[in-house]
Structure 1
Amino acid sequence: MRRRHLLVALAAAWLASRALMLWLLAHDSAGILGGRVGREVWRTYHHWYGVLTQGAFPAHDTLWQYPPGAGLVLLSPGALPWWTYFQAFVALTVVSDGVIAYALARAGTRSGRRLAGAAVWVFGLPLLVRVPFARYDVQVTALAVVSLLALSRSTRVCGAFAALGALVKVWPALALLGAPRGRDTRSVWASALLTGASLLLVLVFAFRNPLAFLRQQGGRGVQIESLGGTVLSLARHVGWPGKVRYQYGAMEFTGPYVSSVAHASLALTAVAFGLLLLWRVRARHWTEAVPFDAALSAVLLFTVTSRVISPQYMIWLLGLAAVCLTSRHTTQRPVAVLILLSTAVSSAIFPVLYGDVIACTRTGTGLLVLRNGMLLLAAVLSFARLWRSTTLRASSDTESYPQARRESPAPASL
């Protein structure tokens, strides 16, 4: 009965909070809680939709920096022709949000699981105000969440959804990093490769210029909200002469040493990748939560070392943190708290006080230091706890998890 009451409370909270988010998005032009965020949909996405319906990817648009699977998401509002593109896109995003909440709640009701994950998603996403419904990252996060939650029941489904997510925005491929050794890993990756290759082949034959995004990605600089951007924002206060300019779809720094900061970010990303590979080689002990914890740790490491930390990146982290908290065995509880706090600060950075961030005022720079400092701490703490829980000596029930999950449970005694 207590669990049923919690589910009803979560459903009510989801309805109320999403209604408020939709109201704020509907009044976007009024400038409530910052500037407009909806133009990404009705201007940029809608323009790409027009190009995609002609059988081509927007190859010559510097803003097109996404894998070819993203085209399918941007075409999906066409399935609801009785609404405008903006209305249909938002409706499908809300549905994806509901799918995530439902999947987390259902997982939380299983034996040995918790509803804390569903609560993190339901109450955490509104911290980003209306931004989540004006980006397609909720749809991508839904694919990653379903992939991870499906692992314990079907490795093939897990791999397939991860591949779909990777073709839309790359990072869901990291959901496969923590699959248990042996047969599970082989099955997950085989399913992912088969699904990904099949869909990519279809897109290559159905559209022109499917790989044009690679050229645009390579030209990106240092976005003001990234960790490197925080360093440059601080440098502005001690005399660095750099400027902020809109390019490649984001506000980026230009000036001396910017290229060095960008190269440093790429080098740190390579180091993060190396650490994750080393963890995979050294890991010996798995619980049901290790695949969840590994996915969160990997995405955190790649986020903090990226040249870009857009506000919608927090949607990914919220979704993965929520998956972790569905398990009683997770090591990421303090990390989830840091992510929630970082998400709250992110809404102040964009859209509420974005003008201060662009101008590198003390307030704007302080918000960046606070948010990115917490994300950096979360990344270090996440990886350290993952490493400690899987490479050091573990209890007997932890060591036997990969075998135990394949065995049928004994019938309960009467």
Structure 2
Amino acid sequence: MRLAAVWGCWLATRIVGLLIILDRFPYPTRDEILGDPAIYEGWSAILAGGEFPEGDVRWQYPPLAAPVMLLPRWLGGTYTTTFALVALAADLLIMVMLTRMRGGSRAGAWTWTLGLVLLGPMSYVRYDLMVTLAAVVALALLARRRVFGVLAAVGTMLKAWPLLLLLALPRNRRGLEEVGAFAVTCGTILAVFAVGMGRAPWGFLDAQTSRGLECEAVAATPFMIDRLSGWTGAIVYQYGSMELVGPGVARVADLLPLLTVLALGLVAVWAWRGAGRGWNAAWGCDVAFAAVLAAVATSRVLSPQYMLWLLGLGAVCLAHRASRQRPAVLMVLVAAALSQFLYPLNWQGLMAADTLETWVLAVRNVLVVAATVLAVARLRTGPATAPEPRRTSRDPEPAMG
């Protein structure tokens, strides 16, 4: 009955979300969220010609992004509509994985179902949903030998952040085998694209490293608040996002990569120590969630679609009864709702330095920081254990582990 309830809620909310994209259901500022599919469509025309759109500084994606961008073009129909249907299929696969995890809790499926509602219909017109699918499947199959390494590599070749999933691995020979599978898969994908397209497929890194401080990033919060009292800087569109330009911004932006390294180093140390004290899949998912949270909180960019990553990984954590990340995941859910309030619903107000929108951004970013601190701190004591749920003879045997 509980499974039917979560699936019923998922179906109802996804129908509404799709109708919003199709302009069959009212939604304020709907046109605001449809800009990215238009960019993807332009890139797909270049990709169809056998080249990466490296002349566009907004192209900041590893090579496997190419088939994802091309898929709606191959399937036909209006690009935005087809892209949304592909995203909906990815959403469905995530739900299937969350509801079929062995010994799992329904909390994971509910987190994902409600999380996308809180974040809004933007989720269906952003590439990040497909990347989140790869990460969720990888963590859901974390106990499968070598499969995790291959799936984490696929995610990394879609967008770089799933590389952090490797911190979820146990500290033993099997962990080394997974790293080997990851390396071989990445190398194979890069080689195939290099041969097929006649050039190295990692030019996207240039645009990625050149990005400045995006106005929604955690580190941008003091500058955004200072705008209320007459800060002399400005917000400009560059590298595909709204970035801050003004006194002190470049210095802060330059410090953030070091802060990211330090934060991930702390996660890695505690993950290494904890992995030697009774590693289990729940612990691995907790580590991956904390690592990605740390990367997001210290990043130069915090676009609203990044919340998809956190919602997906948080859902996998809560699908394990032994997870210690429930409070942090709840904070992420609230942050997702505030993200939709800011974008697209009140984006113009934020750009105009309106008081309400500015302080909502500040609260959202404080929640992200608090969730990060809590998620990382909960790694200190190592893995938790929880008994397997009781199963009667009439309970079906789950299909996945």
The TM-score normalised by the length of structure 1 is 0.89
Give 2:79's aligned residue: 85
Give 2:134's aligned residue: 143
Give 1:130's aligned residue: 121
- 1:230: how far off? 1.1
Match of 2:300, SS state, is coil
Query: Cα gap change, 1:306/1:28 in structure 2, threshold over 3 Å: closer, same or farther?
Result: farther
- 1:145: how far off? 0.6
Of 276-285 and 256-265, deviating more is 276-285
Amino acid at match of 1:370: V
Give 1:169's aligned residue: 159
Question: Does the 8 Å CA contact 1:56/1:209 hold for their aligned counterparts?
Answer: no
Give 2:178's aligned residue: 188
Question: Does the 8 Å CA contact 2:33/2:344 hold for their aligned counterparts?
Answer: yes
Match of 1:162, SS state, is helix
Q: Does 1:282 align with 2:273?
A: yes
Structure 2: state its 5+ residue gaps.
388-401
Give 1:104's aligned residue: 98
- 1:31: how far off? 6.1
- 1:237: how far off? 2.6
Deviations 1:200-229 (A, max 9, x none): 111111224522211111221111100122
Q: Give, in whole Å, the separation in 1 of the partners of 2:4 and 2:74.
A: 31
Q: Does 1:71 align with 2:66?
A: yes
Question: Does the 8 Å CA contact 2:286/2:317 hold for their aligned counterparts?
Answer: yes
Deviations 1:149-184 (A, max 9, x none): 1111x2211111110000111111212212111122
Structure 1: state its 5+ residue gaps.
399-414
Give 2:233's aligned residue: 242
Match of 2:41 among 35, 46, 62: 46
Give 1:401's aligned residue: none
Of 251-260 and 373-382, deviating more is 251-260
Match of 2:284 among 286, 291, 298: 291
- 1:61: how far off? 0.5
Question: Does the 8 Å CA contact 1:59/1:213 hold for their aligned counterparts?
Answer: yes
Give 1:405's aligned residue: none
Q: Give, in whole Å, the separation in 1 of the partners of 2:191 and 2:381.
A: 41
The TM-score normalised by the length of structure 2 is 0.92
Q: Give, in whole Å, the separation in 1 of the partners of 2:264 and 2:153.
A: 19
Q: Give, in whole Å, the separation in 2 of the partners of 1:304 and 1:204.
A: 33
Q: Give, in whole Å, the separation in 1 of the partners of 2:266 and 2:225.
A: 28
Give 2:394's aligned residue: none
Q: Give, in whole Å, the separation in 2 of the partners of 1:252 and 1:163.
A: 30
Match of 2:357 among 347, 350, 364: 364
- 1:33: how far off? 4.8
Q: Give, in whole Å, the separation in 1 of the partners of 2:136 and 2:175.
A: 18
Give 1:333's aligned residue: 326
Question: Does the 8 Å CA contact 2:33/2:125 hold for their aligned counterparts?
Answer: yes
- 1:30: how far off? 7.2
Q: Does 1:216 align with 2:240?
A: no
Match of 1:383 among 368, 371, 376: 376
- 1:65: how far off? 1.2
Amino acid at match of 1:316: W
Match of 2:244, SS state, is strand
Question: Does the 8 Å CA contact 1:162/1:173 hold for their aligned counterparts?
Answer: yes
Question: Does the 8 Å CA contact 1:289/1:324 hold for their aligned counterparts?
Answer: yes
Of 380-389 and 97-106, deviating more is 380-389
Identity of aligned residues (%): 38
- 1:277: how far off? 2.8
Q: Does 1:20 align with 2:24?
A: no
Amino acid at match of 2:55: H
Match of 1:32 among 15, 28, 38: 28
Aligned positions, number: 385
Amino acid at match of 1:271: L
Q: Give, in whole Å, the separation in 2 of the partners of 1:92 and 1:35.
A: 20
Q: Give, in whole Å, the separation in 1 of the partners of 2:195 and 2:25.
A: 40
Q: Give, in whole Å, the separation in 1 of the partners of 2:200 and 2:177.
A: 31
Amino acid at match of 2:150: A
